[in-house]
Structure 1
Amino acid sequence: MTLFDLTGRLALVTGSSKGIGLALARALAQAGAEVVLNARDADRLEASRAALAAEGHRVHAVPFDVTDPAAVAAGVDRIESAIGPLAILVNNAGVQHRAPLQDFPHEAWRRLLATNLDSVFFVGQAVARHMIGRGRGKIINVGSVQSELARPGIAPYTATKGAVKMLTKGMATDWGRHGLQCNGIGPGYFRTELNQALVDDATFSAWLANRTPMGRWGEVEELAGAAVFLASDASSFVNGHILYVDGGITASL
C-alpha cells in the first residue's frame, strides 16, 4: 500500500469548496497529502478548510479566480513560496448551463469556456512550470462522461469537457519527458449540488438508473480511489489516460 501513500506531498485542488472538488481534496488528505483548497468564494472555502482540519488533515485555503491568468500565476507562486512545492494538481473547477443549443446565450458559452477549459490551461501551465524544474509532478484534470457522450441541452458543456480530454493528452505529450504524469478523471452522474435538480427529477433519475449498468447515481466518495491512484506512485507509468468513474455508462448502449 506504500504505492498509494501521499505523505509529504502537497496538492492543490481547484473548485474544492464543495461537491466533487471537496471530496477529491478529502481523499488526497486521507492518503496523507497536505492539501490546498481553492475557489473564488473565500468564506465558503474557509468553512471547507475548517471542516477538513477538524478531521485532522493539514489543509490550507488559497482563494483566487482560476479564469484569470494573472491571478492564477500569483496564486500558484504564493503557494509555492509560502506553503511548499506542489507535487499534485487537481483541476476540478467547473460550471454547467442548460439551454437549447439554438438559444444558448453567448455569455453562458464564454463562461463555460473560461471556467471549464481556460482554467485547466492556466492553472496547469502555472503549476507545471514549477514541477518541470523539479522533474516530477502529477496533474489530474476532471473531465466528464460528456468528454465522450452528448445529451440534449448541454452541447457547450460537452464541448468544454471534450477539450479537457484532449488538453490532458497534450499535457502528457509535452510534459511527460519532464517527469510529469498528466491524466484525467471522467465522472459519470454523481449526487452533487450541481446535479441536485436532476437528482430531484424522478423521470431523469429513472432514465439514469436504466441507462447506467450499475443502476444508480454515483456517490462522490466513490471518486476517491481514482484520485489517489492517479496522484500516487501507483500510476508512475500512466500518462494521458482518462479514467471514467461512471458505473459503466460509457461502456454500454
Structure 2
Amino acid sequence: MTSAIPGTPESELEGRVALVTGASRGIGQAVARALAERGARVVATDRSPDVKRQTPDSRITGMVLDVTDAAAVDAAVEEVERTAGPLDILVNVAGILRPAPVVELTDTDWAETFAVNTNGVFHTSRAAARRMSARGKGSIVTVGSNAAGVPRTRMAAYAASKAAATMFTKCLGLEVARDGVRCNVVSPGSTDTDMQWQLSTGDREQAAARVIDGDPSSYRVGIPLGRIAEPSDIADAVTFLVSDRARHITLHDLYVDGGATLRA
C-alpha cells in the first residue's frame, strides 16, 4: 500500500482511530472501508464472526462485539484504546429489522430491536464519549433511518428504535459539545443491503422499481432521484461528518434518501 499524500482526501483521517459497529456487511462494511481509505485505523466490529474475515485493507482490524452487552462494549473500547490508540471516531451502524404489523409484533421482536438499535447506540456512545470528552475531541455518528421521521407500515419497532437513537445522539451531542466532541446522525432511506431486500419479495429488479415508484397502498412516496442508494453513498456522508470539513457541524441529522421522505 502506498502512503497517502498529505492534504489529499486519502489522508484526511490519517492518524485517527475509528470504531465501527455492524461492520460485517452492508453500510457498516462500506463505512469501515471508506474510513480506512481516508487514512484512519479502523476497528470493525459485529456480532458475526464474518467481520474478522472481511478486512481487505491493512488499516482495518475485525473484532467480534455484541453491542447489546454493556460490559462487553466497555471492554472492547478499552481494548481498542490499548492496542490501536485513543479513539477519535465512533460510527454506530449495528441494527436489526423485525417487520410486522403492530398487532402481530411480539414482545421479543420489540425488545430485541431496541436492544440493538437503541441500547447498543447508548452503550457504545457512552463508552466513547467518556474518553473523548476527557481528551477534548472526537466525533460520533449514528446511522439512523429516514423511518425515524416518517411513519412506515410494518416497521413500528424499527422506526421507533431509530427515532430514539437519533434523539439520544442529539442529546449526547448537546452535553459534550463544550468538550469538543461532535455528535451527528446520518439517516439513510432505501439502500442496497440485505435489510432492504428483507422487505421485498420476488425479483429484485422489480422490487427495486416498486420502491423507486412508490406504493400508495403502504402510504409511501417513491424516490425522486430515481435510484436506490448504494452503501457507499451513506459511507460518504459519514466520512464527511467525521472529518474536519464538518468541524462546525453537530446535532445534525443528514437524510440520505434521494428525497424519499420529502424531508418531512
The Cα shift of 1:116 comes to 0.1
Query: Match for 1:221: what amino acid?
Result: S
- Greater than 6 Å deviation, 4+ residue runs: none
SS at match of 2:68: coil
For residues 2-40 of structure 1, the C-alpha deviation after alignment (integer angstroms, 9 at most, x for no partner) is 495101101000010111100011111111111101011
Are 2:28 and 1:27 equivalent residues in the alignment? no
SS at match of 1:130: helix
Provide the rounded CA distance (Å) in 2 between the counterparts of 1:103 and 1:75.
Answer: 36
Query: Match for 2:119: what amino acid?
Result: D
Query: Match for 1:151: what amino acid?
Result: R
Provide the rounded CA distance (Å) in 2 between the counterparts of 1:96 and 1:72.
Answer: 21
Could you say which residue in structure 2 is the equivalent of 1:61? 62
The Cα shift of 1:90 comes to 0.1
SS at match of 1:139: strand
The Cα shift of 1:81 comes to 1.1
Q: Which of 225, 236, 239 lines up with 2:247 in the alignment?
A: 236
Provide the rounded CA distance (Å) in 2 between the counterparts of 1:147 and 1:162.
Answer: 4
Aligned pair count reads 247
Provide the rounded CA distance (Å) in 2 between the counterparts of 1:145 and 1:165.
Answer: 10
The Cα shift of 1:162 comes to 0.8
Provide the rounded CA distance (Å) in 1 between the counterparts of 2:212 and 2:119.
Answer: 33
The Cα shift of 1:199 comes to 5.4
SS at match of 1:75: helix
Could you say which residue in structure 2 is the equivalent of 1:220? 231
Aligned residues of 1:3 and 1:232 also touching (Cα < 8 A): no
The Cα shift of 1:200 comes to 5.1
For residues 69-91 of structure 1, the C-alpha deviation after alignment (integer angstroms, 9 at most, x for no partner) is 11111111111112211100001
For residues 38-74 of structure 1, the C-alpha deviation after alignment (integer angstroms, 9 at most, x for no partner) is 01122x011112xx23xxx411122121101111111
Structure 2 residue runs of 5 or longer lacking an equivalent are 1-5, 214-221
After alignment, is 202-211 or 188-197 more displaced?
202-211
Aligned residues of 2:47 and 2:65 also touching (Cα < 8 A): yes
Structure 1 residue runs of 5 or longer lacking an equivalent are none
The Cα shift of 1:221 comes to 1.4
Aligned residues of 2:17 and 2:87 also touching (Cα < 8 A): yes
Query: Match for 1:115: what amino acid?
Result: V
Provide the rounded CA distance (Å) in 2 between the counterparts of 1:197 and 1:185.
Answer: 21
Could you say which residue in structure 1 is the equivalent of 2:54? 48
Could you say which residue in structure 2 is the equivalent of 1:246? 257
Query: Match for 1:107: what amino acid?
Result: T
Provide the rounded CA distance (Å) in 2 between the counterparts of 1:201 and 1:182.
Answer: 39
Provide the rounded CA distance (Å) in 1 between the counterparts of 2:197 and 2:260.
Answer: 19
Matches within 5 A, 1:1-253: 2=7, 5-42=12-49, 44-49=50-55, 52-53=56-57, 57-198=58-199, 201=202, 204-210=207-213, 211-251=222-262
CA RMSD of aligned residues (A): 1.7
Provide the rounded CA distance (Å) in 1 between the counterparts of 2:201 and 2:225.
Answer: 19
SS at match of 1:95: coil
Q: How many percent identity over aligned positions?
A: 39
Which structure ranks higher in relative contact order (CA pairs < 8 Å, sequence separation ≥ 6)?
A: 1
SS at match of 2:24: coil
Provide the rounded CA distance (Å) in 2 between the counterparts of 1:80 and 1:17.
Answer: 21
Provide the rounded CA distance (Å) in 1 between the counterparts of 2:166 and 2:124.
Answer: 16
After alignment, is 2-11 or 177-186 more displaced?
2-11
Decide which structure has greater helix share: 1
For residues 78-119 of structure 1, the C-alpha deviation after alignment (integer angstroms, 9 at most, x for no partner) is 111122111000011000001110110100000000000001
SS at match of 2:53: helix
- After TM superposition, the score normalised by the length of structure 1 is 0.93
- After TM superposition, the score normalised by the length of structure 2 is 0.89
